[in-house]
């Protein structure tokens, strides 16, 4: 074929080729929508228009995360049965006047993350037909005060409304006139600075109001007696005063965390508040008498409180006077305040002043708290009379303080005589205390008798560098202790001794300097053991076998394990969680390497194995040479006896044979 023909052929075939090309290179076909009889999901399918040809029976459509920008009458005209439409995270900006008009049964409309701030007047008209709508989400649509109003003209049965993440600055009086049945209103992450008087009072059914992450400075009575949950966290509140409300208040949960309150909130006198979150504020005292608020006033208004979170405030003393009136209080957090001393001011019995000796009176003044979080203060001692106030205590967190532990008295005789001193702390005889944390208290030596007659199930002694734990330290906990943490204490094997803890099943000993598993531990039915970051080169075979009986989860990475002593791994291998991250080391004079402990390489160079290889190779060589020589001798013998005729001609060629035969003899011998 000449050049011309080729050239011609090229031009003739090109169009056909080009026609075929795009078909091959077609963008990967969009996944079809996922359909059932009554629902369709086209989530994230790259759609730019509303899908056509949907069946009349469809009740739910999920079109979220596409690029649909408008909705027309035509799109929805066949969907009369539709109950739920999710168009969140599209580019929706225009809804034609009748686009929602066919949807007589629509109950839930999710339009979060669109651009409904555009064309809000005409879009608002489309909403006028939503007379059955119960739930509407128009969060993150760039809506300001006026735009919101145009969408909420007439939604007579709307119960749930999400307006979060918009640009609302003020809730004007009347803004919620069109949604009188609202029960749940979410206004999180707007820029609200003001709520006009009466803006919310039309919402007579409102139960949940989320105003978190706004810029509100003050809240005075809402007149929202039926509200059950009010979230005002992450605002700029300096006070909260609801004391003026006379009507019974149904508030159950009040979240005032992350504000700038400097005093406890004043609640309506008749309230049912159970959860109050006041963390991250600037409260310095529980009551301020100069404001004519006595502890009794506050106690009265918190009478039903179960959970009070005062963490991250500036309280300088434990508010006993306040707390003793809170008969329902179960959980109290005073974490990260400025508590340093417990010069506990007990409520005084004015008719018999002086220290409290009377048990009955003490019972009356005791607190009902079961969970007490005191971590991150500067507490150095909890006097016995403070702990006497908390007879029901089950969980106590004293982490990150400066607790001074008491020294045992006469513990060697097996008795615990407790000096009731005020300058040290002991945890004995707390009949219900089950969980205690003493993490990060700079503890050095744990003396005996500290936990005598206290049924601790879990104890956290982590992050106390250089801690010494003699066997008598945990005396009294033999039967009850189930979980113990000694993490990050840099303890040596010698400074760690356990009594026989027959219930211990979870133990964290990571971040210490142990070179062996303490034998006293083998008494315990350990199920979960963490020994990461210690100095273990191996685990003794006997210990491994003992552990295997109960162990299910073992973490071992970060130890200088020897590659050549891995017997323990065969025994415990299946329970090791972090095998992939666990390395082993091999050192021999100048030679050293590191490899994954479970890898093939580990063990190959180990001296014993190398010796074995050497032996095997030698044996193999000896045998081969021997065999070779034997066969040569045999062959020569045979040649002599069976083929004398050709001997003459052969002799010349085999001449040097006797000498290798001699060599062979000498090698074999
Ligand atoms: C709706 O969007 C589609 C696709 O972006 C566009 O072609 C069409 O013109 C739009 N219709 C209206 C009425 O805006
Ligand atoms: C209140 O809102 C914040 C932030 O939006 C949230 O983290 C918190 O869980 C909410 N509180 C309650 C009681 O729901
Ligand atoms: C405040 O406490 C409540 C209940 O105790 C909790 O649900 C809520 O998440 C807390 N708030 C924040 C901001 O964590
Ligand atoms: C107290 O509230 C803070 C958040 O505001 C939360 O992180 C902490 O867990 C809460 N503490 C308790 C004991 O509920
Ligand atoms: C008590 O309230 C008064 C008036 O609001 C204020 O000036 C004072 O600083 C408060 N005292 C304390 C200890 O918070
Ligand atoms: C506190 O209680 C006393 C009487 O018990 C009452 O006279 C006073 O008005 C109360 N203060 C407030 C702020 O409610
Ligand atoms: C105060 O003490 C007296 C004498 O011990 C006692 O009779 C009285 O009941 C106590 N008052 C209260 C409120 O317990
Ligand atoms: C130990 O017990 C003996 C008698 O039982 C007593 O005399 C002694 O004071 C006690 N020691 C301490 C430190 O309590």
Q: Which ligand is nearest to the CA of 268?
A: 6
pLDDT at 182 over 70: yes
Buried b / exposed e across 628-661, counting CB within 10 Å, b at 16+? ebeeebeeeeebeeeeeeeeeeeeeeeeebeeee
pLDDT band at 246 (very low <50, low <70, confident <90, very high): confident
Helix (H) or strand (E) holding 331: strand 331-333
Question: Tens digits of per-residue pLDDT, 299-314?
Answer: 788 889 999 999 999 9
3-state secondary structure of 435: strand
| pLDDT for res 5 | 59
Do residues 61 and 88 lie in contact, with contact meaning Cβ atoms separated by under 8 Å?
Answer: no
Distance 87 CA to ligand 5 centre (A): 52
Q: Which ligand is nearest to the CA of 264?
A: 5
Least confident window among 159-163, 315-319, 651-655: 651-655
Q: Residue 357 has which token pair?
A: 């000796």
pLDDT at residue 669 in the model? 36
Residue whose CA is at the smallest distance from ligand 6 atom 11: 293
Residues across the chain: 669
The number of the ligand 2 atom at minimal distance from the alpha carbon of 253 is 13
pLDDT tens digits, residue range 126-156? 999 999 999 999 999 999 999 999 999 999 9
Flag whether pLDDT at 193 surpasses 90: yes
Contact 551, 572 (CB under 8 A): yes
Q: Where are the alpha helices (DSSP H) in 511-579?
A: 541-548, 567-572
160 Cβ inside 6 Å of ligand 7 = no
3-state helix, strand, coil in the chain (%, to 5): 25, 15, 60
Mutate which of 241, 290, 317 for ligand 5? The one with the most ligand atoms within 8 Å of its CB, which is 290
Q: Report whether residue 373 contacts ligand 4, using a CB cutoff of 6 Å.
A: yes
Nearest protein Cα to ligand 8, atom 13 = 409
pLDDT of 28 > 60? The answer is no
pLDDT digits (tens, 9 = 90+) for 413-427: 556 665 556 678 889
- Ligand 7 closest atom vs CA 364: 14
Ligand 3 centroid – CA 539 distance (Å): 45
Token pair 């839930």: residue: 108
Q: Which ligand is nearest to the CA of 311?
A: 4
| pTM flag (> 0.95) | no
What residue owns the CA closest to ligand 4's atom 10?
309
Number of Cβ within 10 Å of residue 293's Cβ equals 17
Q: How far apart are CA 57 and CA 231, in angstroms?
A: 40
pLDDT bin (cut points 50, 70, 90) of residue 494 is confident
pLDDT value of residue 25: 41
Measured CA to CA, the distance from residue 341 to residue 355 in angstroms comes to 18
| Residue 553 alpha carbon to ligand 4 centre in Å | 30
Ligand 3 center from residue 558 Cα (angstroms):
37
Helix residue spans in 285-376 (DSSP H): 295-301, 320-323, 359-365
**Closest protein CA for atom 3 of ligand 4:** 279
Nearest to 510 by CA among 564, 462, 449: 462
Q: How far apart are CA 349 and CA 661, in angstroms?
A: 117
Nearest ligand 3 atom, CA 258: 13
For residue 328 and ligand 7, the question of a CB distance below 6 A is answered with: no
Q: Are 233 and 244 in contact (CB under 8 A)?
A: no
Closest residue by Cα to atom 1, ligand 8, is 410
User: How many A from CA of 75 to the centre of ligand 2?
Assistant: 38
Residue 504 has a pLDDT of 97
Closest ligand by atom to 275 CA = 3
Cα-to-centroid distance, 370 and ligand 7 (Å): 26
Taking 60 as the threshold, does the pLDDT of residue 202 lie above it? yes
Is residue 151 within 8 Å of residue 175, measured between CB atoms? no
Q: Report CA 570 to chain centroid distance, whole Å.
A: 32
**Long-range contacts of residues 89-94, Cβ cutoff 8 Å, at least 24 apart:** 89/64, 89/65, 89/113, 89/114, 90/63, 90/64, 90/65, 90/66, 90/114, 91/67, 91/115, 92/68, 92/116, 93/69, 93/118, 93/119, 94/69, 94/70, 94/118, 94/119, 94/122, 94/123
Ligand (nearest to CA of 280): 4
Hey, whose CA ends up nearest to atom 13 of ligand 2? 255
Q: pLDDT averaged over the chain?
A: 84
Please give the distance, rounded to the nearest whole angstrom, from the Cα atom of residue 208 to the centre of ligand 2: 12
Contact 578, 556 (CB under 8 A): yes
Q: How far is CA 24 from CA 15, 20, 21, in A?
A: 15, 7, 5
Q: Which ligand is nearest to the CA of 353?
A: 7
At residue 395, does pLDDT exceed 50?
A: yes
* C-alpha of residue 232 to centroid of ligand 2, in Å: 8
Which residue's CA is minimally distant from atom 10 of ligand 8? 410
Name the least confident of 75-89, 349-363, 490-504, 643-657: 643-657
Higher pLDDT, 432 or 587: 432
Residue 351 Cβ contacting ligand 7 at under 6 Å: yes
Query: Which uninterrupted H or E stretch holds 309?
Result: strand 307-309
256, pLDDT greater than 90 = yes
Give the pLDDT score at 440.
97
Q: What angle do CA 225, 231, 234 make, to 5 degrees?
A: 145
The CA-based angle 362-363-368, given to 5 degrees, is: 115
- Which ligand is located closest to the Cα atom of residue 279? 4
The reported pLDDT for the residue numbered 663 is: 43
Identify how many contiguous H helices and E strands the chain contains and give both numbers: 13, 31
Write down the pLDDT at residue 69: 94
66 lines ligand 4 (CB under 6 A): no
Q: Pick the residue whose CA is nearest to atom 9 on ligand 6.
A: 292
- The CA 309 to ligand 4 mean position distance, Å, reads 6
Pocket, ligand 2, Cβ cutoff 6 A: 188, 212-213, 231, 233-234, 253, 255
């Amino acid at each position: 074929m000449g050049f011309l023909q080729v050239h011609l052929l090229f031009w003739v075939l090109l169009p056909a080729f080009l026609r075929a090309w795009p078909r091959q290179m077609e963008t990967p076909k969009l996944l079809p929508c996922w359909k059932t009889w009554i629902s369709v999901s086209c989530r994230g399918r790259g759609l730019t228009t509303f899908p056509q040809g949907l069946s009349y029976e469809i009740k739910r459509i999920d079109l979220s995360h596409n690029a649909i920008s408008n909705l027309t009458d035509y799109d929805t005209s066949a969907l009369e049965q539709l109950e739920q439409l999710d168009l969140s995270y599209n580019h929706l900006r225009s809804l034609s006047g009748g686009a929602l008009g066919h949807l007589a049964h629509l109950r839930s409309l999710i339009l979060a993350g669109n651009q409904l701030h555009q064309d809000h007047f005409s879009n608002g008209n489309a909403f006028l037909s939503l007379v059955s709508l119960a739930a509407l989400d128009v969060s993150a649509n760039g809506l300001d005060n006026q735009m919101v109003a145009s969408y909420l003209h007439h939604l007579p049965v709307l119960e749930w409304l999400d307006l979060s993440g918009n640009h609302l600055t003020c809730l004007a009086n009347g803004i919620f006139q069109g949604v009188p049945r609202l029960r749940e209103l979410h206004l999180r992450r707007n820029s609200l600075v003001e709520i006009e008087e009466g803006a919310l009072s039309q919402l007579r059914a409102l139960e949940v109001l989320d105003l978190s992450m706004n810029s509100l400075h003050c809240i005075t009575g809402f007149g929202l007696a039926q509200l059950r949950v009010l979230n005002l966290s992450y605002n700029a509140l300096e006070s909260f005063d609801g004391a003026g409300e006379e009507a019974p208040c149904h508030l159950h949960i009040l979240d005032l965390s992350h504000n700038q309150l400097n005093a406890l909130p004043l609640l309506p006198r008749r309230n049912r508040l159970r959860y109050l979150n006041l963390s991250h504020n600037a409260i310095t005292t529980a009551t301020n008498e100069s404001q004519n608020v006595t502890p009794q006033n506050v106690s009265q208004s918190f009478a039903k409180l179960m959970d009070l979170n005062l963490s991250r405030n500036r309280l300088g003393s434990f508010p006993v006077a306040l707390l003793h009136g809170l008969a329902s209080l179960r959980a109290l957090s005073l974490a990260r305040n400025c508590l340093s001393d417990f010069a506990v001011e007990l409520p005084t019995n004015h008719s018999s002043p002086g220290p409290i000796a009377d048990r009955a009176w003490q019972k009356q003044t005791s607190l009902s708290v079961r969970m007490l979080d005191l971590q991150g203060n500067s507490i150095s001692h909890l006097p016995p009379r403070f702990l006497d106030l908390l007879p029901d205590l089950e969980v106590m967190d004293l982490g990150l303080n400066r607790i001074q532990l008491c020294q045992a008295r006469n513990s060697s005789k097996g008795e615990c005589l407790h000096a009731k001193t005020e300058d040290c702390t002991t945890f004995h005889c707390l009949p219900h205390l089950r969980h205690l944390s003493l993490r990060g208290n700079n503890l050095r030596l744990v003396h005996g008798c500290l936990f005598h007659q206290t049924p601790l199930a879990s104890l956290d002694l982590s992050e106390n560098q250089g801690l010494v734990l003699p066997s008598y330290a945990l005396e009294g906990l033999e039967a009850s202790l189930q979980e113990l943490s000694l993490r990050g204490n840099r303890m040596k094997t010698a400074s760690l001794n356990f009594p026989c803890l027959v219930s211990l099943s979870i133990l964290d000993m990571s971040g210490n300097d142990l070179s062996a598993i303490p034998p006293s531990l083998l008494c315990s039915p350990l199920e979960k053991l963490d020994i990461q970051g210690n100095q273990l080169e191996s685990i003794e075979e006997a210990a491994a076998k003992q552990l295997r009986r109960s162990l299910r989860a073992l973490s071992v990475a970060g130890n200088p394990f020897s590659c050549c002593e891995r017997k323990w791994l065969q025994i415990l291998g299946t329970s090791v969680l972090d095998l992939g991250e666990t390395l082993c080391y091999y050192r021999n004079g100048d030679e050293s390497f590191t490899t994954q402990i479970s890898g093939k390489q580990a063990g190959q160079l180990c001296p014993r194995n190398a010796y074995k290889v050497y032996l095997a190779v030698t044996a193999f060589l000896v045998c081969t040479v021997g065999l070779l020589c034997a066969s040569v001798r045999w062959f020569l013998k045979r040649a002599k006896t069976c083929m004398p005729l050709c001997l003459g001609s052969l002799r010349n060629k085999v001449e040097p044979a006797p000498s290798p035969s001699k060599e062979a003899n000498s090698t074999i011998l």
